[in-house]
Amino acid sequence: MIVILHPDSSLETPNGQLVLDFLSAKPGITARTHSIKGSDRTLSEIYLIGDVVALDASEIESLSGVEKVVRVSREYRVIGRHANDTRDSGFTYNGVRFDQDSLHVFAGLCAVDNPENVETMLRALKENEQICTRMGAYKPRTNPYSFQGHGANCLPWVFELAGKYGIRVIAMEITHGSHVREIQQALEQTGHPTGVMLQIGTRNTQNFELLKEVGRQTELPVLLKRGFGITLDESLNAAEYLASEGNRNIVFCLRGMKTNMGDPHRNLVDFAHVPVVRHLTHLPVCIDPSHSVGNRNIGPDGLLDVMHITAQGVIAGANMVLADFHPRPEQALVDGPQALHLDELSWFLEDIKIARSAYLARRRRASARHTNVS
Ligand code: PEP
Ligand code: MN
């Protein structure tokens, strides 16, 4: 059960505290609190776990500090959509809005290699009016002898260059809690020229201790990839781990499933789950066509498979696209063969616009139909 407090009765006020004391005194109930600090007020929610069936929702709703009680009708208490659930979804980070209505493209390097390639990439993004990118500094590699990423050493110059080219959010994978602190320190040290969305990769989707640690900080949002060999439900529960620890600024990313049924693609593309995740949760949904497809094959129609698959995700309502690009793919230290080339960036962005307008037209058509029917 979720108890939503009035905007003027947050947990910082005596009225809000009275509600929390009342609920905490109920036998068999544990209350967890969550507050979202806005510029002029704080919105608070209390999550009740335990013997909630015995609770009387109308009694709780009659308390003066309470705006609404939502009975959790499905799984995923915090991230899920529940009956009569009017909670705000999405978040704003470093001036960029992420929700189920927005669409942002994060084109960039799979792995940071050298300042020249990073700067060439960032310049191209600026020329194409992009404010987000991807840059890997900590790379989880199958082979221990493969390049593992430049780690903390590259962060200051990557952040400074990103700031120089107007990048507001960099998706950056982390594989250990210490990486979060290194990123926070480097942002601090360079004066926050840009922002970072912490990426938890498919190999760590069920690294519960990492999820808890990342979920306990709320400064940086999280891009959680679906696990490549587990069910959607298991991956959504991983997102719930982050949220239950306090960080609700989550984007959920589909990146394909590991099975040779997807051959010749690197993974079996699972973007049919874009609408499913949007239906089950409030989370914005990202697609990663590069790691799904894993090659640069071009079809008889002249379009790359990566572009076809991106369009499939976007036309189904995806809110974010994570894509590997490289100015000199032959020099890339990770995933060069799947990287799109810089002279393909504007074409890729235009193709996404075409798919996005088709999605918006489909959505308008559906909403007109529902209005006429009801
Ligand atoms: C990546 O985005 O660079 C990456 C390693 O992705 P995944 O975790 O989906 O394999
Ligand atoms: Mn990669």
What residue spans in the chain does CATH classification 3.30.70.1140 cover? 2-71
- Give me the mean pLDDT over the 292-306 stretch: 97
Q: Which of 97, 93, 118 is nearest to 108 (CA)?
A: 118
DSSP 3-state of 293: helix
pLDDT for 51 = 84
Phi and psi based region of residue 192 (left: phi greater than 0; alpha: psi -120 to 50; beta: remaining): left
Q: Whose CA is nearest to atom 9 of ligand 1?
A: 202
Residue position matching structure tokens 């020249």? 116
Name the CATH superfamily, with its identifier, for domain 2-71.
Answer: Phospho-2-dehydro-3-deoxyheptonate aldolase; domain 1 (3.30.70.1140)
| Cα separation values, 78 from 178, 206, 250, Å | 26, 18, 11
What residue spans in the chain does CATH classification 3.20.20.70 cover? 92-369
Q: Is 39 in contact with 56 (CB distance < 8 Å)?
A: no
pTM for this entry: 0.90
- Give me the mean pLDDT over the 361-367 stretch: 97
Bigger pLDDT: 220 vs 10:
220
Task: Look at residue 74 and tell me whether its pLDDT is greater than 80.
Answer: no
Q: Is 239 in contact with 283 (CB distance < 8 Å)?
A: yes
Per-residue pLDDT tens digits for 11-57: 989 999 999 999 999 999 999 888 877 777 788 999 998 888 889 99
pLDDT for 85 = 81
| Tokens read off for 57 | 């929702």
pLDDT for 156 = 98
Ligand 1 atom nearest residue 171's Cα = 2
Cβ neighbors of 11 (< 8 A, separation 6 or more) are 5, 17, 20, 33, 35, 42, 44, 46
Cβ neighbors of 128 (< 8 A, separation 6 or more) are 345, 346, 349
Q: Is 218 in contact with 246 (CB distance < 8 Å)?
A: yes
Task: Look at residue 374 and tell me whether its pLDDT is greater than 70.
Answer: no
- Average the pLDDT over each of 49-53, 165-169, 185-189 and give the range with the smallest value: 49-53
Percent of the chain with pLDDT over 90: 86
How many Cβ atoms are within 10 Å of 159's Cβ, its own excluded?
A: 25
Beta strand 42-50 with 29-37: parallel, antiparallel or unpaired? antiparallel
How many Cβ atoms are within 10 Å of 315's Cβ, its own excluded?
A: 20
| Tokens read off for 189 | 């040290």
Cβ neighbors of 119 (< 8 A, separation 6 or more) are 161, 165
Task: Look at residue 309 and tell me whether its pLDDT is greater than 70.
Answer: yes
Which residues line the pocket of ligand 1, CB cutoff 6 A? 110, 136, 173, 201-203, 225, 255, 288, 291
Q: Whose CA is nearest to atom 6 of ligand 1?
A: 201
Of 112, 147, 173, which is best to mutate to test ligand 1, by the most ligand atoms within 8 angstroms of its C-beta? 173
Alpha-carbon gap, residue 285 to 319, rounded angstroms = 5
Q: Is 117 in contact with 108 (CB distance < 8 Å)?
A: no
Ligand 1 atom nearest residue 256's Cα = 9
Of 109, 179, 210, 225, which is best to mutate to test ligand 1, by the most ligand atoms within 8 angstroms of its C-beta? 225
Beta strand 91-93 with 66-70: parallel, antiparallel or unpaired? unpaired
Q: Is 118 in contact with 125 (CB distance < 8 Å)?
A: no
Q: In Å, how far from its chain's centre is CA 28? A: 34
- Give me the mean pLDDT over the 293-321 stretch: 98
DSSP 3-state of 191: coil
Ligand 1 atom nearest residue 290's Cα = 2
Alpha-carbon gap, residue 207 to 220, rounded angstroms = 18
Distance 333 CA to ligand 2 centre (A): 10
Q: Who surrounds ion ligand 2 at CB < 5 A?
A: 110, 335
- Describe the crossing of helices 155-164 and 177-189 by its angle, rounded to 10 degrees: 50
Ligand 1 atom nearest residue 335's Cα = 3
Return mean pLDDT, the chain: 95
For the chain, where are the E strands, in sequence order?
2-5, 29-37, 42-50, 66-70, 91-93, 96-98, 104-108, 132-134, 169-173, 196-200, 222-225, 250-254, 285-287, 320-326, 340-341
Distance 340 CA to ligand 2 centre (A): 12
- Give me the mean pLDDT over the 5-12 stretch: 90
Q: Using alpha carbons only, what angle is made at residue 241 by residues 236 and 244, rounded to the nearest 5 degrees? A: 120
Per-residue pLDDT tens digits for 320-347: 999 999 999 999 999 999 999 999 999 9
Task: Look at residue 296 and tell me whether its pLDDT is greater than 70.
Answer: yes
Per-residue pLDDT tens digits for 76-132: 999 999 888 877 789 999 999 999 999 999 999 999 999 999 999 999 999 999 999
Ligand 1 atom nearest residue 202's Cα = 8
Grade residue 207 by pLDDT with cuts at 50, 70 and 90. Answer: very high
Task: Look at residue 373 and tell me whether its pLDDT is greater than 90.
Answer: no
Q: Is 284 in contact with 98 (CB distance < 8 Å)?
A: yes
Of 106, 206, 291, which is best to mutate to test ligand 1, by the most ligand atoms within 8 angstroms of its C-beta? 291
Name the CATH superfamily, with its identifier, for domain 92-369.
Answer: Aldolase class I (3.20.20.70)
Distance 33 CA to ligand 2 centre (A): 37
DSSP string for 307-328: HHHHHHHHHTT-SEEEEEEESS
Q: Is 323 in contact with 105 (CB distance < 8 Å)?
A: yes
